[in-house]
């Protein structure tokens, strides 16, 4: 995969400013990821050795607010999948509607949503996926006041509350029956639902889980134990940056929604330590440990974009850990890994799991959530800079 499609003067060969060209290319890829399926869900991703995969309910859920954000920003692709529905393609609002229709059609009778890709599982519930999908249901209901979506969200939240242990943990219907701190990124959407729907029971459940998360926080180092994918990661106190960023964002969001300053402080401390890695190394390694040592020679591009979003959010809060220089540095590396000129529509504009693509996180795969978080980060970068790329249609 090419590092970047550049002309002699360093600008993308499209002639657009780099920020706009890379945003529009990522948006066009995310639209193609939905068009690659037949059910309205968004493809799990594009595999260099296997093409487009089936729809992935979990990330289809939280891609809904990204489609809505693209519509609000008026970001067009210029390739027939324009945000405003030009060129014969559906609008991004229509794309969000199709995604919601897909999700409502697969919700389980108990209110939960299934784990894994849709071709792998339709019956087994997942705590993590249900929480992630809640984010999309709330975003769609906020935008449309759709009654069916409100009912689906209420059922999903009720199932999450009913399946939680008294100590705030979820021990059933979780991956590998392993307690992970990155479940914070699902729990914060339960809190978002509680806030949106005026549901104190959902808010209380989110608060109980936050208590448990903070028990795994090491105030001396800023590390969250249990942030990695596996028991081996937990024992070694290491994490891929994707799940570490899930943890930090979730704790920060929970702290803000629940009025818990100690959680905001913990997330801020951790985010500041990650920024130190960037400034020390000039990059964010895809795997780090509790001593903040880089453990990989590859970047996790998803984690880099997620961390940029965290630093942008902290900067808006006036928090000293809102490191804009670190955010811009990692996003420049993401842009550098994005191929704008490939003839392969599954590669062009997408974001690989790792950079180089042979790295250990989703080797030779362009996952939809990498594009989702990168688009979110590019939009926020543009807003903070006052750039037209995040303010309206490109000229």
What's the pLDDT at 71? 97
**Domain membership flag for residue 8:** no
CB contact at 8 A, 206 and 194 = yes
Evaluate whether residue 218 is within a structural domain. yes
Identify which has the larger pLDDT, 218 or 385: 218
Sign of CA dihedral 125, 126, 127, 129: negative
> Where do the DSSP E strands lie in the chain?
45-47, 51-52, 217-218, 223-224, 238-240, 287-289, 299-300, 354-355, 365-367
9 falls within a domain: no
What's residue 89's pLDDT?
80
Q: Average pLDDT of the chain?
A: 92
Q: Tell me if 371 sits within 8 A of 28, measured CB to CB.
A: no
Would 395 be classed as within a structural domain? Answer: no
What does the block give as tokens for 46? 């594009």
Q: Is residue 20 part of a domain?
A: no
- For residue 13, is pLDDT > 60? no
pTM: 0.93
- Residue 321 covered by a domain: yes
* Domains in the chain, number: 1
CB 254 within 8 A of CB 191: yes
Kindly report the CATH number assigned to the domain that includes residue 142. Answer: 1.50.10.10
Q: Is the pLDDT of residue 44 over 90?
A: yes
Q: Is residue 13 part of a domain?
A: no
**CA distances, 254 to each of 206, 215, 248, 364 (Å):** 8, 15, 10, 34
Going by pLDDT thresholds of 50, 70 and 90, the confidence category of residue 146 is very high
For 1-12, how does the pLDDT look when each residue is reduced to its tens digit (9 = 90+)?
544 443 333 334
Calpha distance 21→27 (Å, rounded): 10
3-state SS, residue 293: coil
**Average pLDDT, stretch 137-151?**
98
pLDDT of 78 reads 35
Let me know how long the chain is.
395
Picking from 344, 384, 382, the residue whose alpha carbon sits closest to that of residue 16 is: 382
Does position 393 have pLDDT exceeding 50, yes or no?
no
What is the per-residue pLDDT for 17?
Answer: 58
Residue 8 pLDDT: 31
Percent of the residues in the chain that have a pLDDT greater than 90, as a whole number: 88
For 204, counting Cβ atoms within 10 Å of its Cβ (0-12 exposed, 13-18 middle, 19+ buried), the class is: middle
Contacts of 144 (CB under 8 A, 6+ apart): none
Distance between first and last Cα of the chain:
29
- 250 domain residue, yes or no: yes
Domain extent at residue 41 = 28-388
């Amino acid at each position: 995969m090419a590092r970047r499609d550049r002309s002699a003067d360093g600008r993308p060969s499209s002639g657009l400013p780099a920020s706009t060209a890379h945003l529009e290319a990522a948006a066009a890829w995310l639209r193609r990821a939905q068009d690659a399926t037949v059910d309205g869900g968004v493809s799990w991703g594009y595999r260099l050795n296997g093409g487009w995969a089936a729809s992935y309910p979990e990330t289809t859920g939280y891609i809904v607010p990204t489609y809505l954000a693209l519509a609000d920003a008026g970001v067009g692709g210029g390739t027939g999948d324009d945000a405003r529905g030009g060129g014969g393609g559906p609008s991004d609002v229509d794309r969000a509607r199709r995604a919601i229709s897909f999700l409502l059609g697969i919700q389980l009778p108990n209110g939960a949503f299934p784990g894994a890709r849709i071709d792998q599982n339709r019956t087994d519930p997942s705590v993590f996926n249900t929480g992630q999908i809640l984010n999309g249901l709330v975003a769609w209901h906020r935008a449309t006041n759709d009654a069916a979506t409100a009912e689906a969200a209420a059922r999903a939240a009720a199932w999450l509350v009913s399946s939680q242990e008294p100590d705030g943990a979820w021990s059933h219907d979780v991956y590998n029956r392993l307690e992970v701190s990155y479940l914070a990124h699902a729990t914060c959407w339960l809190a978002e639902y509680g806030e949106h729907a005026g549901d104190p029971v959902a808010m209380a459940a989110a608060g109980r889980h936050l208590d448990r998360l903070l028990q795994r926080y090491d105030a001396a180092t800023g590390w969250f134990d249990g942030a990695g994918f596996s028991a081996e990661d937990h024992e070694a106190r290491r994490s891929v940056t994707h799940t570490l960023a899930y943890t930090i964002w979730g704790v920060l969001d929970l702290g803000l929604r629940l009025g818990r300053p100690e959680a905001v402080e913990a997330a801020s401390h951790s985010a500041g330590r990650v920024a130190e890695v960037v400034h020390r190394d000039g990059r964010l390694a895809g795997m780090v440990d509790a001593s903040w040592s880089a453990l990989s020679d590859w970047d996790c591009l998803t984690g880099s974009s997620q961390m940029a979003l965290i630093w942008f959010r902290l900067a808006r809060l006036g928090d000293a850990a809102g490191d804009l220089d670190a955010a811009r540095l990692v996003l420049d590396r993401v842009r550098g890994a994005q191929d704008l000129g490939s003839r392969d529509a599954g590669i062009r504009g997408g974001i690989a799991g790792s950079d180089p693509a042979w790295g250990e996180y989703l080797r030779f795969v362009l996952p939809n959530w990498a594009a989702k978080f990168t688009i979110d980060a590019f939009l926020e970068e543009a807003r903070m800079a006052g750039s037209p790329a995040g303010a309206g249609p490109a000229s």
